[in-house]
A and B are shown apart, each in its own frame.
Chain A
Amino acid sequence: MKNWWRGLSRRTKVFVYLGAFLLVCIGTFFIPHGKKENFQAANEFILTPIIKLPKIGPVDLSINKAVLYLWGVVVIIVAASFYINRKLLHSDKEEPGRLQIILEGLYDLARNSISNSVMRVGADTWFPYVSAAFTFVLLLNFLGLIPLPVGEHGQLAFYAASGNLYVTITLAACTFFLSHYAGVKAKGGLGYVKGWMVKGAPPVMRQFIFGTHVLSEMFRLVSLSVRLFANMLAGHMLLAVLFAMTLLFQSYFFAGVFSVGSVVIYLFEVFVAAIQAFIFAILSAVYIGGAIEEEH
């Protein structure tokens, strides 16, 4: 199959791509259409349980589409790990193929740009957590940009699982508790809390600096979670509004304009998804490294 594809000329390949694109465009006429409703931008984020399970205290265990997206990312990571292992272990090529180059680029990004450049002391110990956070958030964000059949009546729709405050606050809580755990493990309980005080300051200022430091540590949880949540929420609402505006004006000119604009904003959303994963990972590394390192 691969040899047949390589044997084609470039012109033929362009025609095949154009033909596939036209087929998809024409095929969209045959998708069964839903009923006419008023457009609400926030409809994407309403979660209805798909399989209802009982509540344990305040925690509702029902499975809705956010849960399915989270499980989907785990399945993708596990399956991709097995596939990559088999492919790279049993390849006897001289020079690295595309898969290896991409993966080595990602690993290099996580290892050198995130762990080694920011954490001075515990880079080797905490690299697994930082790279796991990076990969998880990256795949979660990217999965939100692929249309899957999770719409109200089973139609294709976008949904960002990281656009849910519960998901991001769980991820930020992992970083938060791990940073305090790392600090207590490295310096002992009292030594860690003493590290928040600045030594050579006048007495009243010392308490004030300590209080401000405690507040800023608590605020880290909020800021880390709300940053990811708000970026994904705002991005997807913008995409929903732009996609709807294509049809809302009932005019061919505006449909064309908004189609092009939607594609541009979609590409920007892909960029934002990657950046937010990177920032989440690198701020996790900064917080954990800041808790471990000695006084400056």
Chain B
Amino acid sequence: MSNHAAQLIAAGLCFGPGVIGAGAGLGILIGHAIDSIARQPEMQNDIRTLMFIGIGIVEALALYAIVFGLILLYVVK
């Protein structure tokens, strides 16, 4: 297998399964946030703030996978 083909396959394998966990995590997080807002609508603003903090932290993990894939594509010769 040529070097370029191996590089492309590695980048693809890094992008794809890298964001599965983040997708599942974000779904669980936002689902629980919606549940708790439905339970206590007066706490909406606090719950929404905490939800956004959680979203930022979980999405960063997916972005580590993407950045590593980009490094594999463009930086590695």
* A interface residues, Cβ below 8 angstroms from B: 42, 113, 117, 223, 226-227, 229-231, 233-234, 275-276, 278-279, 282-283
Across the A-B interface, give the 5 residue pairs with the lowest CB-CB distance, nearest first.
A279-B56, A230-B63, A227-B60, A230-B67, A113-B49
Q: Which chain B residues in 48-69 approach chain A with CB under 8 Å?
A: 49, 52-53, 55-57, 59-60, 63-64, 66-67
Name the residue on B nearest A109 (C-beta): B49
For the complex formed, measure the closest distance between the CB of A207 and the CB atoms of chain B, giving whole angstroms.
Answer: 27
Q: Are B52's CB and A227's CB within 8 A?
A: no
Q: Which chain B residues in 5-24 approach chain A with CB under 8 Å?
A: none
CA distance A252 to B67 in the complex (A): 34
Q: Are B59's CB and A226's CB within 8 A?
A: no
Q: Which residues of B contact A282 (CB under 8 A)?
A: 49, 53
Q: Which residues of A contact B45 (CB under 8 A)?
A: 113
Known: A226-B67, A278-B52. 13 other contacts (CB 8 A): A117-B49, A227-B56, A230-B66, A233-B70, A234-B63, A275-B55, A278-B56, A279-B52, A279-B55, A279-B56, A282-B49, A282-B53, A283-B57
Q: Are B53's CB and A223's CB within 8 A?
A: no
Interface CB pairs A-B, < 8 A, 24: A42-B74, A113-B45, A113-B49, A226-B60, A226-B63, A226-B67, A227-B59, A227-B60, A230-B63, A230-B64, A230-B66, A230-B67, A233-B67, A233-B70, A234-B66, A275-B52, A276-B56, A278-B52, A278-B56, A279-B55, A279-B56, A283-B53, A283-B56, A283-B57
Q: Which residues of B contact A234 (CB under 8 A)?
A: 63, 66
How many residues of chain B have a CB within 8 Å of chain A?
Answer: 16
For the complex formed, measure the closest distance between the CB of A60 and the CB atoms of chain B, giving whole angstroms.
Answer: 19
Q: Which residues of B contact A227 (CB under 8 A)?
A: 56, 59-60, 63
Q: Are A117's CB and B66's CB within 8 A?
A: no
Q: Which residues of A contact B66 (CB under 8 A)?
A: 230, 234
For the complex formed, measure the closest distance between the CB of B74 and the CB atoms of chain A, giving whole angstroms.
Answer: 6
CA distance A89 to B66 in the complex (A): 48
Q: Which residues of A contact B42 (CB under 8 A)?
A: none
Q: Which residues of B contact A278 (CB under 8 A)?
A: 52, 56
Q: Which residues of A contact B56 (CB under 8 A)?
A: 227, 275-276, 278-279, 283
For the complex formed, measure the closest distance between the CB of A130 and the CB atoms of chain B, giving whole angstroms.
Answer: 14
Total of A-B residue pairs, C-beta within 8 Å: 42
For the complex formed, measure the closest distance between the CB of B62 and the CB atoms of chain A, giving whole angstroms.
Answer: 9
- Most B-side CB within 10 Å, residue of A42, A227, A276, A278: A227
Q: Is the interface of B mostly helix, strand, loop or mixed?
A: helix
Q: Is the interface of A mostly helix, strand, loop or mixed?
A: helix
CA distance A42 to B57 in the complex (A): 26
For the complex formed, measure the closest distance between the CB of B61 and the CB atoms of chain A, giving whole angstroms.
Answer: 9
CA distance A226 to B52 in the complex (A): 18
CA distance A275 to B74 in the complex (A): 28
CA distance A113 to B63 in the complex (A): 25
Q: Are B46's CB and A226's CB within 8 A?
A: no
CA distance A282 to B56 in the complex (A): 10
CA distance A279 to B56 in the complex (A): 6
For the complex formed, measure the closest distance between the CB of A139 and the CB atoms of chain B, giving whole angstroms.
Answer: 19
Name the residue on B nearest A113 (C-beta): B49
CA distance A282 to B49 in the complex (A): 10
Q: Which residues of B contact A226 (CB under 8 A)?
A: 60, 63-64, 67
Could you mark each residue 25-57 of chain B with 1 if its beta carbon is under 8 Å from any beta carbon of chain A, else 0? 000000000000000000001100100110111
Q: Which residues of B contact A283 (CB under 8 A)?
A: 53, 56-57
